[in-house]
Chains A and B, each alone.
Chain A
């Protein structure tokens, strides 16, 4: 009798240890069938390369959770290196012209008009022409990046919502899914119809103003920047508040629904009621691993989508800041004005891009934060 009891305890312990392994194997199967691979296939080549560099060549729980700080840092540094090597020529051109204008300023100060050196104006025009092409490429990249993130969010968030719904959080999942799809479409169209034209107009205004320092457009540019910041902050706070409130209410409803079903099945279904209830726990464990894997993968993908663009913006901001400081030090007003207006435009673009990235990421974060109702 004692032997039978000991054997029973050992078997129960083995079954207990086997459950996590079974959950992980099941979750990998769920991930394969969830549709996340199809969503990942829509990403562009550069994003896929970054994800492979991070060690996620296959979307499994093991690969995703093996992500470490050193591989992330390597990818970020590689992205900055690429951005630096792509744009260094134009930045050096700008700095070279600033230095030339500074060195020759004393010799060319005879030809001035309203305290503005003619050679300074020529130097400003040449800088404008040298910066225009890389700036246009960066703005096009911004448009493509937001569109790509939008397409990925529209395809990946519903996949995660389906898994969350299978865990028992049906109302929360449907709320998140509708919100994510809606916000992705709205952001994509607002970005291309409003923000992109603005980001093209502001540098053009800055270039016109730099050619004539009596034309003061910095005030217009700073005013537009200020009100866009305020509008974006207000929209994001409003959206996050509404999303959090609705998600917390939906969570409570989902939990009570599932607990009711569990209670009913374990108490009113004869013989196998409790077994059904307990097996639901095992399935939920696998689904939780699946959901978390897809969520983390989604966040990593979105970060990888935005990384090249953010690297380019930072490299240009540093280059333009350096040029503006040099122009200010040497007193070349027109060049300083131009570089400051370009810098302001890039800062505005950076804020808009970060806003878009956070809005896309928040849905994955909210879904990840939902605990299973079972």
Chain B
């Protein structure tokens, strides 16, 4: 799997470099396409192992909703990071900052139940 990803990334990189001098927008499109293909490749392998992973986590006995929140935050971080990197490659730093801000706000909003649960737990512990 890693070998295939490395080959795809190398080919797209060379193609993007070649098109950069001719038409910069096409090189950005090539980079985005490469990222999407690689992500789809990784996700296809991850989904096949998702059942095993969820079974492992259910063995630990933790509330499944907390784990869902954690993995959603992970997904948001990865997507926002990828999008921000593409914008930075294209020298659009302002857009990159906005994407990062959007990612942070999404993670914060999504993790509010976690903060609430930890706060309730801390108050309960302090009260004894």
- Name A residues whose Cβ lies closer than 8 Å to a Cβ of B: 89-90, 92-93, 96-97, 100, 104, 107-111, 113, 118-119, 121-123, 125-126, 128-130, 132, 136, 196-197, 200-201, 203-204, 207-208, 211
Contact = CB atoms under 8 A, between A and B. Distances in A.
Nearest to B56: A96
Interface in B104-126: 104, 107-108, 111, 114-115, 117-118, 121-123, 125-126
Nearest to A109: B81
B80 interface: yes
- Looking at A108, A203, A211, the one whose CB has the most chain B CB atoms below 10 A away is A108
B70 A129 contact: no
A128 B121 contact: yes
A111 B82 CA distance: 11
Contacts, number: 108
B90 interface: no
A126 B70 contact: yes
A125 B70 CA distance: 9
Interface stretch (B6-14, B23-31, B57-65): B57-65
A129 B117 contact: yes
Given A89-B61, A119-B77, A126 B114 contact: yes
Nearest to B121: A132
B60 A197 contact: no
A125 B56 CA distance: 20
Given A111-B104, A129-B114, A204-B122, 8 more contacts: A107-B81, A108-B74, A111-B80, A122-B69, A123-B70, A125-B111, A126-B114, A200-B125
B81 A126 contact: no
Contact of A104 (B77, B114, B118): B77
Given A119-B73, A196-B128, A203-B125, A96 B60 contact: yes
Nearest to A128: B118
A20 to B, nearest CB: 55
Contacts of B128: 196-197, 200
